[in-house]
Amino acid sequence: MTPSIDRNQELFDRARELIPGGVNSPVRAFRAVGGTPRFVQRAQGAYFWDANGQRYIDYIGSWGPMILGHGHPAVVEAVQQAVQDGFSFGAPTEREVQLAEAIVHLMPSLEMVRLVSSGTEAAMSAIRLARGATGRSRIVKFEGCYHGHADSLLVKAGSGLATFGHPTSAGVPAEVAQHTTVLPYNDIDQLEQAFGLYGSEIACLVIEPIAGNMNFVRASVPFMRRCRELCDQHGALLVFDEVMTGFRVALGGAQSIYGRQIPGFRPDLTVLGKVIGGGMPLAAFGGPRALMEQLAPLGPVYQAGTLSGNPIATACGLATLEQIAQPGFFDALAARTRSLVDGLSIVARSEGVEFSVDCEGGMFGFFLLSSLPQDYQTVMTSDSSRFNRLFHGLLERGVYIAPALYEAGFVSAAHTEDDIATTVEAAREVFATLRTG
């Protein structure tokens, strides 16, 4: 039954008086799709309930961290126990060591890690470390990849390789942007030209191996192999941003997937977040001992944080990693995700709607296009108005996907076969309106 007062709208109106745009992170504002954001009151398993008491099947999962679903009993118990001991100490704890040991055990490219509080902080710090270790200033990134909102990363491409990048945000000095070279994703020719021009200046190449911020676009194996080769050839560091993919697409992250296809492959530095905190504010970056020992207090590269290694966040993260490391966990999660994307493909085809989809582990993405895009420019050819109709059609039917065309989706261990079937049937009904509309 529809409530007489829309509490979501009421809360949004109040929020806009006090918070820019009414939200504390831009995509939550529904600006891309229109309408009123859903204000979450509570969540459990694969669902959340909004301010009106409406239940939704949740395919965002806090943008990736909730791989076990909301409120997993083992995680809740670990957090409750940690709370009893104290919220924050500003001093080391044993749990920080345990979490570092777990991460290093599961990701062989890491010999040491530094815990921080957000993906932005981790990526920013990894790039500072790369610059400090190499003595170089230039970084290479790719269109459509998002590595947080540090100044040097909010940059778009210039008109050609020899031109400076341009800030994508006010407040980013041009002097900062000029040290960032932005290239098209999956374009080996442009990659080789960039290293030919700037090879001796490049501190690092930073990449999302499976980009989740232009929906879901994976780097091809030949492209990733060439990234590794060129970094080695020119003395640059390869930085894998696995904030989204780490412990989400596979137990060893996306780097384990490329490692199975490229002999000896591993990144120099890895940036982690989301799943390693289990829903709490926690992130990390790490790599070989020789690199990580460049960090203060051992080395000249400074990085610090009052809440780094927070005892409650580390309890949440440790409990999550313990659960996902269980035998068979990722096989079951991948099968559940595959059943969703296969079902969506079947009903889209039956309704005559152009549709392409990809997935890995518990992460997926789809496009209202006939084939999967390989770069940001192709992603941008998607029909946003049709996506918006799909989004709101699913929302009306109790299915919550990302309120933006350019965001990946996430399946959790809590999603059931019935949840998948309900989602696919809802999509079939909406696809029918896209075909006829």
Q: Which of 241, 358, 375, 419 is catalytic?
A: 241
Query: Is residue 342 annotated as a catalytic residue, yes or no?
Result: no
Helix 73-85 to helix 311-324 angle (10° resolution) is: 160
CA pair distance 319, 302, nearest whole angstrom: 30
Secondary structure of 102-124 in HEC code, one letter for each residue: HHHHHCCCCCEEEEECCHHHHHH
Distances (CA, A) of 282 to 67, 115, 308, 318, 346: 15, 7, 8, 11, 38
Query: Is residue 13 annotated as a catalytic residue, yes or no?
Result: no
Burial of 406: CB neighbours in 10 Å, binned 0-12, 13-18, 19+: buried
Task: Report the half-sphere exposure of 121 (CA within 13 A, side-chain side).
Answer: 19
Query: Is residue 47 annotated as a catalytic residue, yes or no?
Result: no
Q: Which of 141, 185, 268, 274 is catalytic?
A: 274
Number of C-beta neighbours around residue 299 at 10 A: 14
Tokens of 67: 């791989």
Question: What are the beta bridge partners of residue 246?
Answer: 250
Give the residue ranges of DSSP H helices in 308-437: 311-324, 329-350, 376-379, 384-396, 417-436
Question: What are the beta bridge partners of residue 286?
Answer: 113, 270
Rg of the chain (C-alpha set): 22
CA pair distance 279, 70, nearest whole angstrom: 9
Q: Which of 47, 56, 59, 146 is catalytic?
A: 146
Active site members: 146, 241, 274
